[in-house]
Structure 1
Amino acid sequence: MGGPRFEPVRTVRAYERVVEQVEEAIESGALSPGERLPSERELMVQFSVSRSTVREALRVLQARGLVRSRPGDPNGAEVLPFSPAALHKSMTTLARVAELSLGELVQFRMVLDGAAVLLAARLRTEEQLAEMGAAVAAMRAAAGTDEEAFGAADVAFHDAVARAGGNKLIQICTDVVRSIVVKLIADRIAAAPDREELMRRSIRHHEEVIAAIRAGDGPLAARLSRKAMYDYYAGYVGEGERSALRALLE
C-alpha cells in the first residue's frame, strides 16, 4: 500500500508538559537565574494539574540542574545559573541513551580532539604547554607500573589541551565522550596482552602532538591527534564502521 507511513503516537504525561514549559521559560530568559518559580499551589492552578504532577516536574527539573527545590520551602523553586556540571550530566545521559555505536562515539571524539588541539596550537600559553608536558611526564612515570595513575595523567593531558583551546563546550564534550568510550572498552583494554606497549605508543603520540602544539602547527597537531585516536581505537570498532573513522584521516 502506498502513501506515508505513520509512527505510533506517544502519550505525553502531564508532568512532561510542565517541564517543557518551565524549560522554555528559562531558555528564553523569561525566568532568570536567582528568580523563583511560583509556589507548588500556584503551579497547580496555573498548569491545572495535581500536586503530585507538579512535584514530579520539579524533581525532573532539579535532576537536570535547572532549579533547586527544598522540601517544605514556602517559596517556589529557585532557578539556577548555567552550570557546566549540569550540561555534563545531560550530555552523559544523552550519549548513553541515544543508542550511539562505539564507532560513532570514537568518530565524534576524533573530531572534537582534532579541533581542541588545533585551537590549543594557536591559543595556548606557556603555562598550559607546561601542564601538557607535566601530564605526559606523569604518564611516562606510571607506564607499566600503575595503570590508574597512567589513565589519570592521560585525562589530565586532554583536559589541559581542551582548556588551552578556551571553549567550555569542547571541554565538556571531550570529557563526556572520552569517559563513555573508555568505559565501553575498559574490559578489552585490561585484557590486552601488549598493554605496556600500548602505553608507550600512547606516550609517543602525545609527545608528537605536544611538539606540533609548541610549534604552533594546528593542522599537523589535529592530524596527529586523529591518527593516534584511530590507531588506538580502530581495533575495537567493527570493520563496517572503520571506513567512517578513516574518512577523518588525511
Structure 2
Amino acid sequence: MSEEPYFRPVRPTRAYEAVVEQVEETLARGALRPGDRLPSERDLMSQFSVSRSTVREALRVLESAGLIRSRPGDPRGAEVLPYSTENLRKPLERLAGRDGISLSELIQFRMILEGSANRLAARLRTDEQVAAIETALERMREAIDEGYAAFSAADVTFHDVVAQAGGNSLIQVCGEVVRGAVLALIEDKLQRAPDSVALMRQSVAHHAEVFEAVRHADLIRADRLARCNLYEYYASYVTEESKPMLQALLEE
C-alpha cells in the first residue's frame, strides 16, 4: 500500500522574497527589536549572497509593510519599526478586495466585528466615550440634509468612536477595512437609491438604538442590534442563496 507523500511541490521563489521571509522570521522571534538596525546594504548582500538590487527590493517590500524605515545611503542600515495594527491595513485591504471573497462573506464578517465592537463598548465605555458617541450620532442627524457623502463620513465616525470605546484596536482596523470593502461594492447603488433620505433616517434610528444600548450597558442588545441592523440594511444586496449565512448570525 502506497503512503501519502510527506512534502508538497515547491514553487520557484524570487531572491528578494527569500530575503523578506528571513527578515520577517527574525523580527517575529524577537532577535531584532524596534529601534534596532538591520545590517548595511553591503553586509546584507554578503550575508544573503545576493545583488544590491535584490537587497533594495527586499527593503522596499519590508518598508511598504511598515516593518522597517530605510533611508538610501544610510550606513547604519534600515531601522526596525514598532509593531502597529496599521501594519495589518494594507494586507487586509488586498484580501478584502479579492474577487474570491463575496459580498455576503464581507457582510457576515462585518456583522461579527460590529457585534463584538458594540458588546465591548457597552461593557467598557467611559462617560466621556458615551458623550463622544452621542455627539457622533447628532452629527449623523445633521448630515442628512447635507447629502450622502457627508452622511457617510458621519456614519464612519460613529462606528469608529464605538470601536474605540471597546478598546480593541484590531477590531477597529478590521472593521474599517471591511466596511470600506462593502461600501466599495455597493456605494453606487446607495447613492442612486430613490429613497436615500429615508435610508439615512432609518440608519440614524438604528444607530440611536445602538447608542442607547451602549449607554445603558446592555451588552446582549448592543451585540444583537449590530447584527440585525446590518442584515436589514444589506440583505437586499446579496443573493437568496447567500442569505442563510447571514441569517445564521441572527439566531439566538
Deviations, residues 126-169 of structure 1 (Å, cap 9, x unaligned):
11111111111111111143222211111111011101111111
The reply to whether residue 125 of structure 1 matches residue 122 of structure 2 is: no
Given that residues 144 and 199 in structure 1 are in contact (C-alpha distance below 8 angstroms), is that contact kept between their aligned partners in structure 2?
no
Instruction: Give the number of equivalent residue pairs.
Output: 249
RMSD: 1.9
User: How far apart, CA to CA, are the structure 2 residues paired with 1:84 and 1:22?
Assistant: 19
**For 2:26, what is the secondary structure of its paired residue?**
helix
- Deviation of 1:86 after TM superposition, in Å, equals 2.2
**For 2:31, what is the secondary structure of its paired residue?**
coil
What stretches of structure 2 of length at least 5 have no aligned partner?
none
The reply to whether residue 96 of structure 1 matches residue 115 of structure 2 is: no
Given that residues 15 and 56 in structure 1 are in contact (C-alpha distance below 8 angstroms), is that contact kept between their aligned partners in structure 2?
yes
Given that residues 115 and 227 in structure 2 are in contact (C-alpha distance below 8 angstroms), is that contact kept between their aligned partners in structure 1?
yes
User: How far apart, CA to CA, are the structure 1 residues paired with 2:4 and 2:104?
Assistant: 32
TM-score normalised by the chain length of structure 1: 0.94
Q: Give, as a single letter, the amino acid of the residue that structure 1 aligns with 2:118.
A: V
Q: Give, as a single letter, the amino acid of the residue that structure 1 aligns with 2:220.
A: P
- Deviation of 1:211 after TM superposition, in Å, equals 1.1
Which residue of structure 1 aligns with residue 47 of structure 2? 46
User: How far apart, CA to CA, are the structure 1 residues paired with 2:53 and 2:4?
Assistant: 39
TM-score normalised by the chain length of structure 2: 0.93
Which residue of structure 2 aligns with residue 82 of structure 1? 83
Given that residues 208 and 224 in structure 1 are in contact (C-alpha distance below 8 angstroms), is that contact kept between their aligned partners in structure 2?
yes
User: How far apart, CA to CA, are the structure 2 residues paired with 1:68 and 1:98?
Assistant: 32
Q: Give, as a single letter, the amino acid of the residue that structure 1 aligns with 2:141.
A: R
- Deviation of 1:85 after TM superposition, in Å, equals 2.5
**For 1:57, what is the secondary structure of its paired residue?**
helix
Which residue of structure 2 aligns with residue 14 of structure 1? 15
User: How far apart, CA to CA, are the structure 2 residues paired with 1:136 and 1:119?
Assistant: 18
Structure 1 runs, 4 residues or longer, greater than 3 Å off: 3-9
- Deviation of 1:7 after TM superposition, in Å, equals 8.0
Structure-2 change in CA distance of 1:186 and 1:242 (3 Å): same
- Deviation of 1:177 after TM superposition, in Å, equals 0.8
The reply to whether residue 217 of structure 1 matches residue 218 of structure 2 is: yes
User: How far apart, CA to CA, are the structure 1 residues paired with 2:174 and 2:161?
Assistant: 14
- Deviation of 1:98 after TM superposition, in Å, equals 7.1
Given that residues 39 and 77 in structure 1 are in contact (C-alpha distance below 8 angstroms), is that contact kept between their aligned partners in structure 2?
yes
Which residue of structure 2 aligns with residue 158 of structure 1? 159
Given that residues 119 and 164 in structure 1 are in contact (C-alpha distance below 8 angstroms), is that contact kept between their aligned partners in structure 2?
yes
Q: Give, as a single letter, the amino acid of the residue that structure 1 aligns with 2:120.
A: L
User: How far apart, CA to CA, are the structure 1 residues paired with 2:97 and 2:69?
Assistant: 25
Given that residues 16 and 57 in structure 1 are in contact (C-alpha distance below 8 angstroms), is that contact kept between their aligned partners in structure 2?
yes
Which residue of structure 2 aligns with residue 138 of structure 1? 139
Given that residues 122 and 214 in structure 2 are in contact (C-alpha distance below 8 angstroms), is that contact kept between their aligned partners in structure 1?
yes
What stretches of structure 1 of length at least 5 have no aligned partner?
none
Deviations, residues 85-143 of structure 1 (Å, cap 9, x unaligned):
22222322232237311111110000000000001111111111111111111111111
* Percentage of pairs with the same residue: 58
